[in-house]
Structure 1
């Protein structure tokens, strides 16, 4: 059956001043969050997670993607993106992982924002009000460090012991005043072939 959603939450954070200096363009970060009943709650150790993943993940991916796009003003506005899940204390980290590490969840988002990079992620276990941390990276360039960001928030009453918090994150822009370069500069200085970074 589809995910049993207790509630959703939309978090929008706009940074206008960083380091005491006004941002040339404010950074907007968005998190779309769903609190769902753990579909494996009360079943003990479940060998095959796939049926519940196929039931729950596609709808969650579609819903959270729609929430992000509405807040961002469209997929073309999204620059950084990521995902996260926290399973309640009665569940396994594998339950959180199962719902977000499937193309049936993530591809809704990737396709909607026209992304090429993989979706950065966290999957953890915790009590209600646990810190939800959604790492972000540039949707098309994994080496663009200006977009290495983390959205951090918590849901006061979630996850309950038999719940999972599932989230997608987005940024419009990168860190204000970013000035640490990108990974390609490091690779070049270390003598690596930019076309084949593993070689020296």
Structure 2
């Protein structure tokens, strides 16, 4: 059992001027996406596990290789995330199932040497739907300079019976970051770093 991949799409942007001020170095973000046939489209399937376990490793390895090649190496990636968009004949559960498995995400986490979990979105949409991948620092979930979103679209995907599965990455944070990190907020509010109520 293997995913039926119709196409692979890559996206990259290098921002040279942000906020009317040149960046000290390009603000670089990239993404890699696979457009696959949704094996559960148009029907209710109780047990999604066989396809999740079969598809996860292959999609994780493929997209991780594509995105680390774009960045020249996993070590250069500072922020990362994942996303899935299921077509109109599928469930949100289908999008979730394909990306919320360690068999998928751990390929990327290991390739970049991450300690953080992967930020994510999973939505339903039609062809040309906005694919928005939230990013966060791969080692420090409180580093706000790396709270980013990479956004792109694929004009003919997902079709009603497809799913787009994607990984996103940034080589650096926002060029003129100046809102501080969550740790200062915690300190100002008198909370310790482990306070679960703090956001």
**Which whole-Å deviations, capped at 9, do the CAs of 1:47-92 have from their partners, x for residues lacking one?**
0000011111110000000001100010100000000000000000
Partner of 1:65: 64
Partner of 1:5: 5
TM-score (norm 1): 0.97
Shift of 1:199: 8.1
Shift of 1:193: 1.4
TM-score (norm 2): 0.97
Shift of 1:197: 2.3
CA contact (8 A) 1:192 1:198 kept: no
Partner of 2:120: 121
For 2:16 and 2:112, the matched residues in 1 are separated by 24
For 2:197 and 2:119, the matched residues in 1 are separated by 25
**Aligned residues, how many?**
198
**Which whole-Å deviations, capped at 9, do the CAs of 1:149-181 have from their partners, x for residues lacking one?**
000100000000000000000000000101000
For 1:70 and 1:80, the matched residues in 2 are separated by 15
CA contact (8 A) 1:159 1:165 kept: yes
Shift of 1:41: 2.3
1:155-174 matches, cutoff 5 A: 155-174=154-173
For 1:166 and 1:198, the matched residues in 2 are separated by 30
Partner of 1:49: 48
CA contact (8 A) 1:89 1:127 kept: yes
Please list every run of 5 or more consecutive structure 2 residues that lacks an aligned counterpart in the other structure: none
**1:180 counterpart = 2:143:** no
